[in-house]
């Protein structure tokens, strides 16, 4: 899939227990994954990147507003 791209070795050498947050453009030299320890077993990101990626639904979506008139 990524054969010949600068990211090919990054994917092959990605740490199983390190952060997997992508940094940079995978088509460019310098692409990498974060390297900090993951927040929890089974999670792909460190604490900082997890906070950025996992936003509670109450924050993402505003509350529904009823347009019904009383």
Dihedrals φ, ψ of 33, to 5°? Answer: -105, 155
User: Would you say the C-alpha torsion 31, 32, 34, 38 has a positive or negative sign?
Assistant: positive
The domain ranges of the chain are: 8-56
pLDDT of 4 higher than 80? no
- Which residues share a beta bridge with 18? 37
Q: 32-33 and 22-23 as β-strands: parallel, antiparallel, unpaired?
A: antiparallel
Q: Which residues contact 10 (CB under 8 A, 6 or more apart)?
A: 26, 31, 32, 33
Whole-number pLDDT of residue 70: 46
Q: What is the pLDDT of residues 40-66, one digit of tens each?
A: 777 888 888 888 888 777 766 656 665
């Amino acid at each position: 899939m990524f054969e010949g791209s600068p990211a090919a070795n990054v994917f092959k050498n990605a740490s199983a227990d390190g952060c997997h947050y992508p940094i940079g453009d995978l088509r460019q030299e310098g692409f990498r994954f974060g390297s900090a320890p993951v927040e929890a077993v089974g999670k792909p990101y460190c604490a900082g990147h997890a906070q950025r990626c996992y936003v509670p639904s109450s924050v993402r979506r505003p509350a529904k507003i009823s347009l019904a008139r009383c």
